[in-house]
Structures are given as C-alpha cells and as structure tokens.
C-alpha cells in the first residue's frame, strides 16, 4: 500500500484464523497456506484421541481426517501426488502398520507433507485469486461471525470462520519471439508455436478490465501485425 495512506485499519490473514482485523500493519499480509506446526500436530492428535490412550486407531483418526484436509489443503494435494487413497495410507507408509499409531508416527507423517510444500509463485494469477478470496471473506464477514463455515479448530473450540484459500492453476505462457509462445496448461499439456500465441492473445484480452482497454490493445496488435513494430512507417 502506498506510503502516506490515511487508511489505518487494515486486514490480514494468518495461520490461526483466516481473516483478522488489525490496525498495526501498513500493508496486506497474506499467509494463505498454513504450515502444519508441531503444536498443531499435538492438538490434532489430542482432538482425535478421545480415549486418551496415547495412540490412535483407524476409527478415531477417521473422525478428524476431513477437518485435517480442510484446514491444511497441502495434505490433500500430497495424497494425490503420492497416489495415496486417503490419509490412513499416509500413516501406514510412515508406520508400516495400519492398526494404531502413536504421536511420534503421527508427527512424522504430517511433517513429511510439509517438507514437500512449496510457496505459491509471485504471479498475477496467484494475486488475482488471493484478492478474490479476500473480497469474498469481507463480504461474508458478518454472516460467518454468527455461523462459521471453516474447518474445525484443533486448538480451542468451535470452527474457523472461513474455508482456507485454495489456489487453482490455470496454466502459464512464455513468449518466444517471432510470434510464437510456449503454453503450459493444466493436465501437463504443453504447446509451442503460432497457435499458442493466438491463445495467449485471447486470454490476455479477456483479462483486461474494460472494453475500451481491450479495443485499444487489440487495435495496437492489428497495427503491429500489418505495419510491424516500427510505427514511423504508418
């Protein structure tokens, strides 16, 4: 946010609740993919260990599986990457036994997930999705104060106010020059050539905010296509 801005009350996102009001920060701070901290793992284990036996059986663990995947989306992504059907298979791979697990095995399994976690790229696509997510949180603030819709709180009571942020990758483009572009789209689909350049044109134009801007940009492309980059010949 530019310096000298008169707005003092801002919003941030942190690990323990999705949106928190603060007047102490000078900019938006988005931490949308919380890591599985050691104290969080202990809290999850305690929440699932209803009999306080120090170990979890499959029935106890299944009671919190859904909330774990909701609270920490990277767990679900990791399971898909490793082609594991559910988080019980993750525990089995860490323990070699699918009957009961103790706190140390539980920590080992979830810590393995965090070692594979990567930060989201600093691109406009990520920023756009984060901004839309934040706007939805603002619009639902009053409603979610009364009726939280997020995952279960492992430390404390109740639920988080909002569902965690989930990034959806729609692909990327890289100009190669000579009216050619490399395109990478979901599903590991890669294309290089003139057709990808025209696909880039259409996507770029669709993301512009107004029809006036679109018409100006498209007209510039047409002039460049006809007369080249040297505008002095026009």
Q: Give the confidence band of 38 by pLDDT, cuts at 50, 70, 90.
A: low
**What distance in Å separates the CA atoms of residue 23 and residue 6, rounded to the nearest whole number?**
12
Q: Give the confidence band of 118 by pLDDT, cuts at 50, 70, 90.
A: low
User: Which residue from 176, 219, 216 is spatially nearest to 200, judged by alpha carbons?
Assistant: 176
Residue 1 pLDDT exceeds 50: no
Total-model pTM:
0.60
Domain boundaries, the chain: 38-115, 172-233
Among positive and negative, which fits the CA dihedral 136, 140, 145, 146? negative
Q: Which fold has domain 38-115?
A: Recoverin; domain 1 (1.10.238)
Which residues share a beta bridge with 55? 102
Q: Which two tokens stand for residue 208?
A: 């512009």
């Amino acid at each position: 946010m530019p310096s000298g801005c008169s707005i003092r009350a801002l919003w941030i996102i942190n690990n323990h609740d999705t949106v928190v009001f603060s007047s102490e920060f000078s900019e938006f701070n988005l931490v949308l993919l919380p890591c599985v901290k050691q104290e969080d793992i202990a809290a999850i284990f305690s929440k699932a260990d209803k009999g306080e036996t120090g170990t979890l059986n499959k029935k106890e663990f299944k009671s919190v599986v859904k909330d774990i995947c909701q609270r920490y989306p990277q767990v679900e992504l990791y399971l898909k990457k490793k082609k594991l059907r559910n988080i019980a298979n993750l525990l089995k791979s860490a323990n070699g036994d699918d009957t009961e697990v103790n706190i140390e095995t539980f920590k080992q399994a979830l810590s393995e997930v965090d070692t594979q976690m990567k930060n989201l790229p600093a691109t406009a696509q990520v920023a756009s999705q984060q901004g839309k997510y934040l706007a939805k949180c603002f619009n639902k603030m009053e409603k979610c104060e009364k009726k939280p819709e997020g995952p279960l709180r492992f430390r404390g009571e109740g639920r988080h106010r909002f569902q965690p942020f989930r990034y959806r990758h729609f692909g990327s483009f890289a100009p190669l020059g000579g009216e050619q572009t490399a395109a990478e789209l979901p599903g590991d689909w890669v294309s290089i050539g003139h057709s990808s350049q025209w696909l880039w044109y259409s996507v770029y134009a669709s993301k512009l905010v107004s029809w006036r801007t679109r018409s100006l940009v498209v007209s510039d492309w047409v002039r460049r296509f006809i007369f080249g980059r040297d505008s002095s010949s026009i």
